[in-house]
Structure 1
Amino acid sequence: MKKVGNHSSFSRILLFFLVLSLSFSVASFGQQAAAPAATTDPAAGAAGAAGTGAAPAGAGDAAKGKELFNTLCAACHKLDAKATGPALRGVADRRDRQWLYKWIRNSSEMIKSGDPDAVKLFAENNNAVMTAFPQLTDADIDNIMAYTSQPKEAAAPAPGSDKVGAGAVAAESGVSNNIILGALVLVLGVLIVMLYLVNRTLKRVVSANNIEEVQKEPSLPLWKAYAKNQFLVLVTVILLMLSGAYFIYGYLMQIGVDQGYEPVQPIHFSHKIHAGDNGIDCKYCHSSARVSKHSGIPSLNICMNCHKNIAEFQGDKDSTYVEYSKEFYTAEIQKLYDAVGWDKTAQKYTGKQKPVKWVRIHNLPDFVYFNHAQHVSVAGVECQTCHGPVETFEIMKQHSSLTMGWCINCHRETDVKVEGNDYYKKIHDELAKKYGVQKLTAANMGGTECGKCHY
């Protein structure tokens, strides 16, 4: 019998390369797992722990002083920037402590007495009268001075500052991945060689045994066979027409529906920070929603009610922002100042204003009548019912579809609130008997009539 070749040698070679590739993979994964552990330095942790808890400068309790500062002083003063009054960081080193006691308790009296330092300070701050705090004891003022004497915290590293360390880890990971990729390519090459050798061996076997290869009869191409089957062609045409009509109808029904519309505004305004973290009521800014057809765009004067003394963002990055930095939000506040013409250094308006071209988000067709006051003040509908959880939106968007079907469904499902309204209570009692229901919906009271919204 003629020997064709030793097939077991091929299996041994394949097994050898598979074991080799697995060993490379295990080694590379071990390197990746060991890399994070190697970066942990116990000495660094000890040094960091030893560096915390520095004693506050000067006498007094800085923690209590911070509470007093935020309660009494923060409306007009900042630690590192001028507001209505001067910056207060290090004021204990610039002024005599006894002078500060008198000034804080009654600055107006010192100005009237002609104290030169008091008169000069009063003039430097646009003759702004400081509120007197006679109730503060020496210990309270010492606590505030201790807080203002603390050194300024170092700026947090900017996003991307850890690119060096991350790059090193990525480089190690990249080397390991290259090793794995090389092993897989090697295994693939071995398999290709083996297939070639097996094919050549089979051809030798066929030639040695004088086996004749069976030739396949030419068959009809699939597309020609399909074209000759009239039934399949008819079914296909019908399915294409129905699916085409479905998608065309769906496309046409979405014309004018801007659900999810999220335009970029000229000044970045975070509802998540204002309505969410700070708990500002929607109707404080959109006050016309109570009495008008439109909710209105808040004037910049409303913004300045707070931001006259808030020139820098001081939020907690873990609860307010993710992809934006404090510097970004502070720059947006500066855009507000540029628009209203506010000089934060001099604490006065310059008279140079720039209009803000806000981009409208919610826009109903002209033939639709909608009254915010009717829904907000009369019906007691919450803003989130239509606009979604705006307190979680970093960028405002259109939450609901605002289609006619959406409005009608709301009228059919929403019960009318009649508590404290004798007019509606009378109508409710009469219509409840007519329809045989306990509670009336807006639809029962004519909320689905065409003339209610179209006239």
Structure 2
Amino acid sequence: MRKVTLNQGILKYFLLSILIFSLSSTYAQEDEASAESTESAIPGADPVAGKDLFNSLCAACHKPYKDGVGPALHGVTERRDMEWLYKWIKNSQELIASGDSEAVAVYNEWNKVSMNAFPQLSNKDIDDILAYVEQPKPEPKKKEAEAGAAVADGGGGSGISNEVIIGVLAFVLLMLAVILYLVNKTLRKFAEVNGVEVEEKKEKGKPIWVAFAENQFLIILTVGVMLLVVTWFGYGALMNVGVDQGYEPIQPIHYSHRIHAGDNQIECKYCHSSARKSKHSGIPSLNTCMNCHKQIAEVSDETATEEYSKEFYDGEIQKLYDATGWDPSTQSYTGETKPVKWVRIHNLPDFAYFNHSQHVSVGQIECQTCHGPVEEMEIMYQDSPLTMGWCINCHRETNVKMEGNAYYEKIHEELAKKYGVEKVTAAQMGGIECGKCHY
């Protein structure tokens, strides 16, 4: 009996060992497979370091998986010899001048556009770059919002619409009214059978409107209150004529300040360059947009939101291409352009003078002071009221920056003595005189 038990124990341990070995082999194979999937296409190269080099040196003209100003780089190590690539990347013009047939063919194929020379790159740096571009194209990520929507569409969600709740409440109230009516009717029948007299409603007194009409004090009081209310709300309505705070029009091409000024931290004055030296900030030309969007034809999955999908942003970039006549497949302009009818958001009356350069360049006022948190706006809207009172309050509270301006420094000394202060506000320098803004 003891022997049988021992043999059974040995058998159990043997089977358990086989199971553990098989599982460890499976996991080892999976680890090897995953290691193979992330392994660099070039031995010893670092794709992570290559990504930084690619973004800083190559991304202006090349894309890993699509043609740009130059060809797509994915698969280049299979098409070209590594030694040839080293020479081409370090100095392509020297290789072309030597008469190399491959170099001349590439130069002619891509419209004889000269590639920048990168003699500072070592072979190891080039290996890192090539290892990055040779990585398999990543699959697009599905947004959690899309997954949640799929669950809701499949009936997995537990949300109840407001219409259903309102309908149920209306049905309950109707049933309560019916029950009350039936109870009242039943009680009256019981009272009639038992000989109980039901007290009827007393005769109505004088109607309330008659009593009101006979009371002159109430009439005078009511008229006075109504006049005050009409005056108050009428004054408020008239004061808001021409005040478009919160105005948020839909533009013909969707432009996300959240992505450009927020995520990518593009300076406002890069696009609105005339704000530095002109009265108006100006609408950026589409050529300014194409400085970047010749290469950026689509957005990343991380850029998309629940409200605006990746496909939506890509479609808006295509609208930009249609307007400028840009053909991304040939990387050239067709010459067929279309005007873009942008909708103006901030608009002052013609009798009010405002100079952007005076505030932006001289006053060094941040754009967000007047335009609000632009870097957070998906759709641009008017954040401030832009009324005369709002401007005057700003002039009363804002100190003038005197650094680097000898003219202001001289005036500042005199005004500082006059007002007995260290800092002089725009109002103290004449910023609230009528002629400054109305002339």
Is this a same-fold pair by TM over 0.5?
A: yes
What is the rounded CA distance, in whole Å, between the counterparts of 2:60 and 2:234 in structure 1? Answer: 59
Q: 1:449 to 1:264 in 2, by over 3 A?
A: same
Tell me by how many angstroms 1:187 deviates. Answer: 12
Partner of residue 375, structure 1 = 359
Q: How does 1:90-239 map to 2 (within 5 A)?
A: 90-157=75-142, 160=146, 163-169=149-155, 196=182, 200-201=186-187, 203-205=189-191, 207-211=193-197, 213-239=199-225
Give the Å deviation of 1:202: 6.3
Q: Which amino acid aligns with 1:411?
A: H
Distance 1:163 1:324, change over 3 A: closer
- Give TM-score scaled by structure 1 length: 0.78
- Show the counterpart of 1:248: 234
Distance in 1 (alpha carbons) for counterparts of 2:127 and 2:374? 43
Pick closer, same or farther for the CA change 1:160–1:133 going to 2, 3 Å: same
- How far is 1:82 from its partner? 1.0
| 1:67 equivalenced with 2:52 (yes/no) | yes
Counterpart Cα distance in 2 of 1:134 and 1:348: 29
Residue 260 (structure 2) pairs with residue 274 (structure 1): yes
List runs of 5+ in structure 1 lacking aligned partners: 1-45
The 1-side partners of 2:152 and 2:258 are apart by 30
Of 41, 48, 60, which residue of structure 2 is paired with 1:58?
A: 41
Distance in 2, matches of 1:161 and 1:310, equals: 27
Amino acid at match of 2:68: A
* 1:101-139, Cα deviation, whole Å (9 max, x unpaired): 333333333323333332222222111122233444444
Q: Which moved more, 1:101-110 or 1:303-312?
A: 101-110
Deviation per residue, 1:45-65 (Å, 9 max, x gap): x9xx98977324523332232
- Correspondent of 2:297 among 305, 311, 316: 311
Q: 1:346-425 alignment to 2 at 5 Å?
A: 346-425=330-409
Paired AA for residue 417 in structure 1: K
Q: Tell me by how many angstroms 1:183 deviates.
A: 12
Match of 2:18 in 1: none
CA contact (8 A) 2:40 2:46 kept: no
- 1:300 alignment counterpart: 286
The answer to whether 1:260 aligns with 2:243 is no
The whole-number CA distance in structure 2 between the counterparts of 1:426 and 1:210 is: 101
Give the partner amino acid of 2:141.
A
Q: 1:372 to 1:207 in 2, by over 3 A?
A: same
Q: Are 1:441 and 2:425 counterparts? A: yes
The count of aligned residue pairs is 404
SS in 1 for 2:290: helix
Alpha-carbon distance between aligned partners in 2 of 1:258 and 1:184, rounded to the nearest angstrom: 40
* Cα distance change on mapping 1:439 and 1:232 into 2, 3 Å: same
CA distance in 1, matches of 2:235, 2:180: 56
1:283 partnered with 2:269: yes
**Equivalent pair of 1:56/1:62 in contact (CA under 8 Å):** no
- Residues 140-186 of structure 1: CA deviation (Å, up to 9, x unaligned): 333333322222122334764654422334576669x999x999979
How far apart are 1:67 and its partner, in Å? 2.3
For 1:323 and 1:183, the matched residues in 2 are separated by: 32
TM-fit CA distance, 1:86: 0.4
SS in 1 for 2:365: coil
User: Shift of the alpha carbon at 1:277?
Assistant: 1.6
Unaligned runs of 5+ in 2: 1-26
1:78 positional shift: 0.3
Mean Cα deviation higher: 162-171 or 183-192: 183-192
Letter in 1 for 2:313: Y
- Aligned-residue offset at 1:83: 0.8
Quick one: structure 1 residues 162 and 56, their matched pair in 2 at CA, closer, same or farther if it must change by over 3 Å? farther
Q: Aligned partner of 2:323: which letter?
A: A
Structure 1 residues 439 and 115 mapped into 2: Cα distance closer, same or farther (>3 Å)?
closer
Q: Contact 1:56 / 1:146 at 8 angstroms: preserved in 2?
A: no
* Alpha-carbon distance in 2 for matches of 1:420, 1:73: 40
Counterpart of 2:266 in 1: which secondary structure?
Answer: coil
The residue that corresponds to 1:328 in the other structure is 312
Distance 1:248 1:313, change over 3 A: same
Question: What one-letter code is carried by the residue in structure 2 that aligns with 1:353?
Answer: T
Secondary structure in structure 1 of the residue aligned to 2:341: coil
Q: Which amino acid aligns with 1:324?
A: Y
Contact 2:397 2:425 in 1 (8 A): yes
Q: Give the distance between the partners of 1:57 and 1:137, measured in 2 at CA.
A: 18
Q: Give the Cα separation in 2 of the matches to 1:271 and 1:340.
A: 21
Asked if the contact 1:68/1:144 (under 8 Å) is kept, the reply is: yes
CA RMSD of aligned residues (A): 3.4
2:50 maps to a residue whose letter is G
Compared with structure 1, are the counterparts of its residues 107 and 403 closer, same or farther at alpha carbon in structure 2 (3 Å cutoff)? same
Q: So what's the TM-score if we normalise by structure 2?
A: 0.80
In the aligned structure 2, how far is the partner of 1:270 from the partner of 1:172?
Answer: 33
Q: Secondary structure at the match of 2:383?
A: coil
Evaluate the alpha carbon distance shift between residue 382 and residue 231 of structure 1 in structure 2; reply closer, same or farther with a 3 A threshold. same
Question: How much has 1:338 moved relative to structure 2?
Answer: 2.4
Cα distance, 1:85 vs structure 2: 0.5
Q: Distance in 2 between matches of 1:338 and 1:106?
A: 36
Q: Which moved more, 1:98-107 or 1:258-267?
A: 98-107
- The amino acid of 1:146's aligned partner reads A
